[in-house]
Amino acid sequence: MIVRVKENKLSRISEKREFILYLLKIKHHVRIRAMLQKYIQHGSTTVYTHSRNVAYKSFLFAKFLERKLGATINYEILTVSAMFHDFFLYDWHQTEGRQRLHGFRHPKIASENAQKFYDINDEEKMIIESHMWPLTITKFPKTIEAKIICFVDKCCSTVETFKR
Protein backbone atom coordinates (compact mmCIF):
# COMPACT_ATOMS: atom_id res chain seq x y z
CA MET A 1 0.00 0.00 0.00
CA ILE A 2 2.78 2.46 0.86
CA VAL A 3 4.52 1.71 -2.44
CA ARG A 4 1.27 2.35 -4.31
CA VAL A 5 0.84 5.75 -2.65
CA LYS A 6 4.39 6.70 -3.63
CA GLU A 7 3.79 5.53 -7.21
CA ASN A 8 0.58 7.57 -7.41
CA LYS A 9 2.36 10.67 -6.07
CA LEU A 10 5.22 10.23 -8.55
CA SER A 11 2.72 9.73 -11.34
CA ARG A 12 0.94 12.99 -10.43
CA ILE A 13 4.24 14.88 -10.34
CA SER A 14 5.20 13.41 -13.71
CA GLU A 15 1.81 14.35 -15.20
CA LYS A 16 2.06 17.89 -13.83
CA ARG A 17 5.51 18.29 -15.41
CA GLU A 18 4.21 16.95 -18.70
CA PHE A 19 1.29 19.40 -18.61
CA ILE A 20 3.63 22.32 -17.91
CA LEU A 21 5.76 21.34 -20.90
CA TYR A 22 2.67 21.45 -23.14
CA LEU A 23 1.72 24.80 -21.63
CA LEU A 24 5.18 26.24 -22.26
CA LYS A 25 5.01 25.17 -25.91
CA ILE A 26 2.32 27.80 -26.46
CA LYS A 27 4.04 30.74 -28.14
CA HIS A 28 3.75 34.04 -26.30
CA HIS A 29 2.34 32.28 -23.20
CA VAL A 30 3.51 35.09 -20.89
CA ARG A 31 1.86 37.76 -23.09
CA ILE A 32 -1.37 35.76 -23.33
CA ARG A 33 -1.38 35.21 -19.55
CA ALA A 34 -1.06 38.98 -19.00
CA MET A 35 -4.02 39.64 -21.33
CA LEU A 36 -6.27 37.04 -19.69
CA GLN A 37 -5.42 38.06 -16.11
CA LYS A 38 -7.06 41.45 -16.69
CA TYR A 39 -10.58 39.99 -16.72
CA ILE A 40 -12.70 38.10 -14.19
CA GLN A 41 -14.43 34.96 -15.41
CA HIS A 42 -16.41 33.31 -12.59
CA GLY A 43 -16.63 34.58 -9.00
CA SER A 44 -13.18 36.01 -8.33
CA THR A 45 -11.37 33.72 -10.78
CA THR A 46 -9.55 35.41 -13.65
CA VAL A 47 -10.00 34.24 -17.23
CA TYR A 48 -6.37 33.05 -17.21
CA THR A 49 -6.80 30.99 -14.03
CA HIS A 50 -10.06 29.53 -15.35
CA SER A 51 -8.43 28.63 -18.68
CA ARG A 52 -5.44 27.07 -16.93
CA ASN A 53 -7.79 25.13 -14.62
CA VAL A 54 -9.75 23.82 -17.60
CA ALA A 55 -6.53 22.91 -19.41
CA TYR A 56 -5.03 21.07 -16.43
CA LYS A 57 -8.21 19.26 -15.41
CA SER A 58 -8.83 18.32 -19.06
CA PHE A 59 -5.27 16.99 -19.23
CA LEU A 60 -5.80 14.87 -16.09
CA PHE A 61 -9.19 13.61 -17.29
CA ALA A 62 -7.66 12.71 -20.66
CA LYS A 63 -4.88 10.78 -18.89
CA PHE A 64 -7.57 8.91 -16.92
CA LEU A 65 -9.49 8.07 -20.13
CA GLU A 66 -6.27 6.95 -21.77
CA ARG A 67 -5.43 4.62 -18.86
CA LYS A 68 -8.91 3.22 -18.28
CA LEU A 69 -10.37 3.11 -21.81
CA GLY A 70 -7.31 3.18 -24.03
CA ALA A 71 -8.41 6.50 -25.56
CA THR A 72 -6.00 8.22 -27.92
CA ILE A 73 -5.60 11.90 -27.03
CA ASN A 74 -3.68 14.69 -28.73
CA TYR A 75 -2.44 16.52 -25.63
CA GLU A 76 -0.98 19.45 -27.53
CA ILE A 77 -4.31 20.20 -29.23
CA LEU A 78 -6.11 19.63 -25.91
CA THR A 79 -3.87 22.07 -24.02
CA VAL A 80 -3.88 24.78 -26.69
CA SER A 81 -7.66 24.60 -27.16
CA ALA A 82 -8.34 24.70 -23.43
CA MET A 83 -6.04 27.67 -22.91
CA PHE A 84 -7.76 29.63 -25.70
CA HIS A 85 -11.36 28.50 -25.16
CA ASP A 86 -12.27 31.77 -23.36
CA PHE A 87 -9.87 34.15 -25.13
CA PHE A 88 -12.49 36.91 -25.53
CA LEU A 89 -10.60 39.91 -23.98
CA TYR A 90 -13.45 41.98 -22.51
CA ASP A 91 -15.38 42.20 -19.25
CA TRP A 92 -18.45 40.07 -19.95
CA HIS A 93 -20.08 41.27 -16.73
CA GLN A 94 -20.87 44.60 -18.39
CA THR A 95 -24.23 44.59 -20.15
CA GLU A 96 -23.46 46.80 -23.14
CA GLY A 97 -22.26 45.84 -26.63
CA ARG A 98 -21.11 42.32 -27.48
CA GLN A 99 -21.16 41.27 -23.83
CA ARG A 100 -24.98 41.08 -23.71
CA LEU A 101 -25.10 37.64 -25.31
CA HIS A 102 -21.72 36.53 -24.01
CA GLY A 103 -22.60 32.84 -23.54
CA PHE A 104 -23.63 32.53 -27.18
CA ARG A 105 -20.99 34.76 -28.77
CA HIS A 106 -17.76 34.32 -26.87
CA PRO A 107 -16.70 30.97 -28.41
CA LYS A 108 -16.53 32.59 -31.87
CA ILE A 109 -14.78 35.69 -30.47
CA ALA A 110 -12.28 33.49 -28.61
CA SER A 111 -11.63 31.54 -31.81
CA GLU A 112 -11.03 34.74 -33.80
CA ASN A 113 -8.67 36.11 -31.13
CA ALA A 114 -6.77 32.81 -30.95
CA GLN A 115 -6.32 32.89 -34.74
CA LYS A 116 -4.88 36.43 -34.50
CA PHE A 117 -2.50 35.78 -31.59
CA TYR A 118 -1.56 32.13 -32.01
CA ASP A 119 -2.49 30.77 -35.45
CA ILE A 120 -4.60 27.84 -34.24
CA ASN A 121 -5.40 24.95 -36.59
CA ASP A 122 -8.89 23.89 -37.76
CA GLU A 123 -9.34 21.27 -35.02
CA GLU A 124 -8.41 23.74 -32.27
CA LYS A 125 -10.80 26.27 -33.82
CA MET A 126 -13.63 23.68 -33.77
CA ILE A 127 -12.89 22.80 -30.14
CA ILE A 128 -12.91 26.45 -29.03
CA GLU A 129 -16.14 27.17 -30.93
CA SER A 130 -17.91 24.07 -29.56
CA HIS A 131 -16.96 24.35 -25.87
CA MET A 132 -20.28 26.00 -24.92
CA TRP A 133 -22.44 23.23 -26.36
CA PRO A 134 -25.42 22.77 -25.85
CA LEU A 135 -25.85 26.56 -25.54
CA THR A 136 -24.31 26.92 -28.99
CA ILE A 137 -26.52 24.18 -30.40
CA THR A 138 -25.05 24.14 -33.92
CA LYS A 139 -21.46 23.72 -32.68
CA PHE A 140 -21.33 20.14 -31.44
CA PRO A 141 -18.01 18.91 -29.93
CA LYS A 142 -16.89 16.26 -32.46
CA THR A 143 -13.56 14.97 -31.15
CA ILE A 144 -12.66 13.42 -27.82
CA GLU A 145 -10.56 16.49 -27.00
CA ALA A 146 -13.56 18.76 -27.71
CA LYS A 147 -15.87 16.64 -25.55
CA ILE A 148 -13.39 16.62 -22.68
CA ILE A 149 -12.98 20.41 -22.73
CA CYS A 150 -16.74 20.97 -23.04
CA PHE A 151 -17.37 18.77 -19.98
CA VAL A 152 -14.46 20.01 -17.85
CA ASP A 153 -15.28 23.66 -18.61
CA LYS A 154 -18.77 23.16 -17.14
CA CYS A 155 -17.32 21.50 -14.02
CA CYS A 156 -14.67 24.19 -13.45
CA SER A 157 -17.18 26.99 -14.09
CA THR A 158 -19.56 25.58 -11.51
CA VAL A 159 -16.86 25.20 -8.85
CA GLU A 160 -15.43 28.68 -9.51
CA THR A 161 -18.85 30.33 -9.42
CA PHE A 162 -19.78 28.88 -6.04
CA LYS A 163 -16.30 28.96 -4.46
CA ARG A 164 -16.02 31.33 -1.49
Give the mean pLDDT of 41-55.
83
C-alpha distances out from residue 65 to 9, 57, 124, Å: 19, 12, 20
Is the pLDDT confidence value at 58 over 90? yes
pTM of the model: 0.81
Q: Which residues contact 92 (CB under 8 A, 6 or more apart)?
A: 39, 99, 102, 106
pLDDT confidence of residue 135: 65
Is the pLDDT confidence value at 1 over 60? no
Q: Which residues contact 26 (CB under 8 A, 6 or more apart)?
A: 32, 79, 80, 83, 118
